[in-house]
Chains A and B, each alone.
Chain A
């Protein structure tokens, strides 16, 4: 290496030391390796030399060029690494101990229990039916074997409308329409009627923590050629065990409802004590849960189904009561209040 090239190399290394960032490196790179750079100038100088010297000098300059070029690349890598490190170091530590923002909506608790019941019955091949809230006297009473002046009408204080229609007092009001909707498929194709119909019901009574004039029920019916009391107990037990997600005991007691015969009150083993007796079941070990029974022949007849050929069972589950039991809602009026302090707590529960 000549004195000159050595000097250049020295100067270059000095300059490189002073480089702090990529831009500075670029300047130095141009200064030495650019079109008008120092090393390029050396190459130009070479033209005036003889062949022997040219070769010698050329080698030296090329070495220098390679050295400089490698040094620039190394420096570049070094700077890039430093830049990434600097970026990493700039990142602050976040405080994940702060309360999370759980912004979300909420489902009405009735929607939650209704969906759950529907899911269970759908899995057993039941259709889910919808029915109007305003019905006729025929739908709510006559077709259900509750003629005028029947004492059962007194038990259900009814909101009558000016045009003679009424706000349905029970989801059973949909039974007749459902039998009519599916009877042809039952009779002609042998398809059993398996349906549930959740809906809102109304009773003309004063409200308090335990009584509401507006509440939800879910009716279920199954009609086929050989539906028996034994089947009814099976379906009720299976369904309720699914709803409460544990194996529960059920028992039937005779109960009088005009649209079923025999009619039952269904009790379940107390969910809190499991049947041993506690304050919430009044120490009986049982909770009265829902009325059910074998569909009354007159009700089948009114629906266009021959009771000599077909039998069926029906039950009415209080969805509002179920929601209250499930979530521990103490005041039934909270459900229709629209109070978001209560209602916003009910998130997806499937």
Chain B
């Protein structure tokens, strides 16, 4: 919203105050002002009122005329002018030689052979409207040679307030409310509005009007006739133009002017079209043509202004084409109303049509304002056009009153909230300057909230704190730390686990942390041949490609791996992110936090890569929980899983995740030559596992004994199990030192290290255990390598 300093100054005397500083203060205390401030008229000087005394055709041009104008000097000035509306006796804006327009200095200049000693200007050239049809017309009563800036309010400072920052301030949608803020900020008096006395029309008949729906809180109207004027006064048009509105005609300009001044939207109907005003909703949807000529679908929730049963306007949003003021309108009905803000907002959304009026109604306008606005309207109207006749008394129905709000609090409350000392007098003065009724007795305050702040903005004590502190100025605050007791802060297990995993993967295994989206990417999954599995969906997705929440990070990560397939022949990525595994019994999402890793390699064999990932998982478990992992083969159930080498990852007897190879079909689409494997671990499950503490054992001072034995076995598992079952305390370490595949038989050489902390072991006693292990394995058909 654009605001004019001149307009604000109608209501608060700001003489002697730096306007820019005040605007900055407003930005820090009330609402955000955009950076660019417009100094209207600053690029204009030396433009005077001049009268055209002579108009002659230009011998060399059909368009141009040779004029002689009286610019208040001793002799007439010869000017060449191309405007179509030149005529003898007309007064216009004249830029003399030496004048400035838009940074250009006017000089005597030859136009088609004749010298022009200055320039007659259009309103657009002066910057007060976008009218460039002809040169400006000025009323006859102004003396020739008068500086135009003395006649009209051309000089102004205009600034823009971000509408969003006014969302919660229904009182700031017009200049009068803004002036109240400026008055409070500058410590000056707010002047009252100049209003017509409507009581003198009380004898006149009422308008036939009835509110039939409580979505209309208040409806005030009045009828006037005999409005002859069609063009608004220049100063009014300048203000409208500076505030971003185009002048249309006198009546439309008047309603706009009122809206910009008071924030109250108004509407003027042709009285012939609205003899019985009824405000209501309709049972069935229908089509309604608004005054912009567009057919709009009205449903049963939309509040309408009607002439009995014929709708004539969408309440609070826009008037209808049929009831608009036209050429032969003589009597008009002026509407000033208050509507339910939520209803207006919803209708605006349904109609996808936001207007200056609806934008204001959405903010919960002050219902007390409707009559004041009519009084102001009548005042301005009759001041400008003395012939206007009021033909009805004020007709006003106040169906839903706003709740009056009073708040009580004490000085301690203010001190506690602010943390600084603001004295009682300052509190009282500040609140009074903003229109609050204040009583203060012995540090106890009783505050009445004014109607323009009571509709939703100021409802509780904390709101009063804001009023006091923002005017006091946050820059003036003493800044202090809090005096609160201190307690140690323990990070959660889960947080610890996450941070440690990240460090291990990044620092030890050179993995890259990535983030991805929480939904399945339909297009990319399809390209990779990954099935879109059924899971909870977004109900209002606007992008059809992102509808279902993911069940696993693996597929989304594979999409990212594919994107990076030329990044390096070997790389690995990981993410700690969320998935949803269907719904729980209470119908809530079963949200889980997962660690997902994918390794991509063109240089390592699948087995090497797979065992590397196995080791990484074991390192994580060992490092963070001091626990070993075990793995258990499982069946594939997702399209991206290779049916073989799919293993559950088990820690402390609990399944915490899985690791596997990417299905060849998917893998080939990511990269024809790369081996790609993944693992996914449930962070919550892993974090929940008890951390084994470190058990220290004194190293033996006696030499130990290493025994190598080679078995013919497909896997190490039974060997490891047999050694474990031997339960021999002397076994301190078991290593695989060789594996050898020959004629389809695989042999594994293990090196077992025996030692005792008390003495040197004798070969015979060690060999007893070795024999026992061998015997155990032979029973399972696993023999020694011959």
Q: Are A253 and B27 in contact (CB under 8 A)?
A: yes
Give a binary string over A269-312; 1 marks a CB under 8 Å from any B CB, 0 the rest.
00000000000001110000000001011000000000000010
Q: Is B485 an interface residue (CB 8 A)?
A: yes
Q: Is B489 an interface residue (CB 8 A)?
A: yes
- Bound together, the chains give a CA A125 to CA B477 distance in angstroms of 24
Q: Is A214 an interface residue (CB 8 A)?
A: yes
Q: Are A231 and B346 in contact (CB under 8 A)?
A: no
Q: Are B30 and A254 in contact (CB under 8 A)?
A: yes
Chain B nearest CB from A152 CB (Å) reads: 8
Residues of chain A within 8 A of B495, CB atoms compared: 128, 130
User: With A214-B518, A229-B418, A231-B419 as given contacts, are A340 and B485 in contact (CB-CB < 8 Å)?
Assistant: no
- Bound together, the chains give a CA A202 to CA B511 distance in angstroms of 27
- Bound together, the chains give a CA A220 to CA B587 distance in angstroms of 30
Q: Are A294 and B512 in contact (CB under 8 A)?
A: no
- Bound together, the chains give a CA A128 to CA B342 distance in angstroms of 38
**Which of B206-214, B463-471, B668-676 is the contact stretch?**
B463-471
Q: Are A192 and B485 in contact (CB under 8 A)?
A: yes
**Which of A44-52, A65-73, A100-108 is the contact stretch?**
A100-108
CB neighbors of A among B7-62 (8 A)? 27-32, 35
User: With A105-B505, A253-B27 as given contacts, are A162 and B539 in contact (CB-CB < 8 Å)?
Assistant: yes
Q: Is B362 an interface residue (CB 8 A)?
A: yes
CB neighbors of A among B465-492 (8 A)? 465-466, 469-470, 474-475, 477-487, 489-492
Residues of chain A within 8 A of B28, CB atoms compared: 251-253
CB neighbors of B among A197-228 (8 A)? 200, 202, 204, 206, 213-214, 222, 224, 226-228
Q: Are B564 and A338 in contact (CB under 8 A)?
A: yes
Partner of A229, one of B417, B515, B540, B563: B417
Residues of chain A within 8 A of B572, CB atoms compared: 105
Q: Is A133 an interface residue (CB 8 A)?
A: yes
Q: Are B542 and A204 in contact (CB under 8 A)?
A: yes
Residues of chain B within 8 A of A335, CB atoms compared: 515
Give a binary string over A149-165; 1 marks a CB under 8 Å from any B CB, 0 the rest.
10100100011111111
Q: Are B518 and A202 in contact (CB under 8 A)?
A: yes
- Bound together, the chains give a CA A338 to CA B494 distance in angstroms of 24
Residues of chain B within 8 A of A238, CB atoms compared: 481
Give a binary string over B697-711; 1 marks a CB under 8 Å from any A CB, 0 the rest.
000000000000000
Q: Is B499 an interface residue (CB 8 A)?
A: yes
Q: Are B494 and A130 in contact (CB under 8 A)?
A: yes
Q: Are A149 and B484 in contact (CB under 8 A)?
A: no
Q: Are A163 and B589 in contact (CB under 8 A)?
A: yes
Q: Are B482 and A227 in contact (CB under 8 A)?
A: yes
Residues of chain B within 8 A of A140, CB atoms compared: none
Q: Is B165 an interface residue (CB 8 A)?
A: yes
- Bound together, the chains give a CA A274 to CA B185 distance in angstroms of 28
Q: Are B506 and A104 in contact (CB under 8 A)?
A: yes
Q: Are A161 and B539 in contact (CB under 8 A)?
A: yes
Q: Is A344 an interface residue (CB 8 A)?
A: yes
Q: Is A190 an interface residue (CB 8 A)?
A: yes
Partner of A165, one of B345, B502, B564, B589: B589
Chain B, residue nearest A231 (CB): B482
Give a binary string over B347-365; 1 marks a CB under 8 Å from any A CB, 0 the rest.
0010000000000001000
CB neighbors of A among B339-398 (8 A)? 342, 345-346, 349, 362
Q: Are A230 and B419 in contact (CB under 8 A)?
A: yes
Q: Is B420 an interface residue (CB 8 A)?
A: yes
Chain A nearest CB from B458 CB (Å) reads: 10
Contact-size category for B: 35 or more
Give a binary string over A243-281; 1 marks a CB under 8 Å from any B CB, 0 the rest.
000000001111110000111110000000000000000
Q: Is A336 an interface residue (CB 8 A)?
A: yes
CB neighbors of B among A125-178 (8 A)? 125-128, 130, 132-134, 136, 149, 151, 154, 158-165, 167
Chain B, residue nearest A263 (CB): B466
Residues of chain B within 8 A of A105, CB atoms compared: 505-507, 509-513, 572
Chain B, residue nearest A122 (CB): B489
Q: Are A149 and B507 in contact (CB under 8 A)?
A: no
Q: Is A187 an interface residue (CB 8 A)?
A: no
Q: Are B539 and A230 in contact (CB under 8 A)?
A: no
Q: Are B460 and A261 in contact (CB under 8 A)?
A: yes
Q: Are B489 and A125 in contact (CB under 8 A)?
A: yes
Q: Are B474 and A252 in contact (CB under 8 A)?
A: yes
Q: Are A132 and B578 in contact (CB under 8 A)?
A: yes
Q: Are A337 and B419 in contact (CB under 8 A)?
A: no
- Bound together, the chains give a CA A154 to CA B345 distance in angstroms of 10
Partner of B513, one of A130, A167, A261, A343: A343
Chain B, residue nearest A288 (CB): B32
Residues of chain A within 8 A of B466, CB atoms compared: 254, 261-263
Q: Are B489 and A126 in contact (CB under 8 A)?
A: yes
Q: Is B525 an interface residue (CB 8 A)?
A: no
Q: Are A162 and B537 in contact (CB under 8 A)?
A: yes
Residues of chain B within 8 A of A227, CB atoms compared: 482, 484
Partner of B518, one of A126, A167, A233: A167
Q: Is A322 an interface residue (CB 8 A)?
A: no
- Bound together, the chains give a CA A200 to CA B515 distance in angstroms of 11
Residues of chain A within 8 A of B349, CB atoms compared: 154
Residues of chain B within 8 A of A128, CB atoms compared: 491-492, 495
Q: Are B475 and A251 in contact (CB under 8 A)?
A: yes
Q: Is B571 an interface residue (CB 8 A)?
A: yes
Chain B nearest CB from A156 CB (Å) reads: 13
Q: Are B477 and A262 in contact (CB under 8 A)?
A: no
With most chain B CB atoms within 10 A of its CB, the pick from A160, A202, A234 is A234
Q: Are A111 and B513 in contact (CB under 8 A)?
A: yes
Q: Are B510 and A103 in contact (CB under 8 A)?
A: yes
Partner of B517, one of A161, A256, A336: A336
Chain A, residue nearest B168 (CB): A256
Chain B, residue nearest A307 (CB): B462
Q: Are B536 and A163 in contact (CB under 8 A)?
A: yes
Chain A, residue nearest B342 (CB): A149
Chain A nearest CB from B139 CB (Å) reads: 42
- Bound together, the chains give a CA A134 to CA B535 distance in angstroms of 14
Residues of chain B within 8 A of A133, CB atoms compared: 518, 578, 591
- Bound together, the chains give a CA A235 to CA B27 distance in angstroms of 23
Q: Are A191 and B487 in contact (CB under 8 A)?
A: yes
CB neighbors of A among B557-579 (8 A)? 557, 559-561, 563-564, 567-568, 571-573, 578
Chain A nearest CB from B354 CB (Å) reads: 11
Q: Are B465 and A262 in contact (CB under 8 A)?
A: yes
- Bound together, the chains give a CA A332 to CA B203 distance in angstroms of 67
Chain B nearest CB from A111 CB (Å) reads: 6
Residues of chain B within 8 A of A230, CB atoms compared: 418-420, 477-480
Chain A nearest CB from B556 CB (Å) reads: 9
Q: Is B538 an interface residue (CB 8 A)?
A: yes
- Bound together, the chains give a CA A261 to CA B462 distance in angstroms of 6
Partner of A134, one of B484, B515, B580: B580
Partner of A340, one of B505, B559, B567: B567
Q: Is A81 an interface residue (CB 8 A)?
A: no
Q: Is A341 an interface residue (CB 8 A)?
A: yes
CB neighbors of A among B698-726 (8 A)? none
Q: Are A336 and B462 in contact (CB under 8 A)?
A: no
Residues of B within 8 A of A (CB): 27-32, 35, 165, 167-168, 342, 345-346, 349, 362, 416-420, 460-463, 465-466, 469-470, 474-475, 477-487, 489-492, 494-495, 499, 502, 505-507, 509-518, 536-542, 549, 557, 559-561, 563-564, 567-568, 571-573, 578, 580, 583, 587-589, 591
Shortest Cβ-Cβ A-B pairs, 8 listed: A228-B419, A230-B419, A338-B560, A262-B466, A105-B506, A252-B474, A256-B168, A261-B462
Please name 12 further chain A to chain B contacts, defined as beta carbons within 8 Å, in addition to the given A108-B513, A230-B420, A234-B482, sorted by A numbering.
Answer: A128-B495, A191-B485, A200-B518, A222-B482, A254-B470, A262-B462, A265-B32, A297-B460, A311-B416, A340-B571, A341-B567, A343-B513
Residues of A within 8 A of B (CB): 103-108, 110-111, 115, 122, 125-128, 130, 132-134, 136, 149, 151, 154, 158-165, 167, 190-192, 194, 200, 202, 204, 206, 213-214, 222, 224, 226-231, 233-235, 237-238, 251-256, 261-265, 282-284, 294, 296-297, 311, 335-341, 343-344, 348
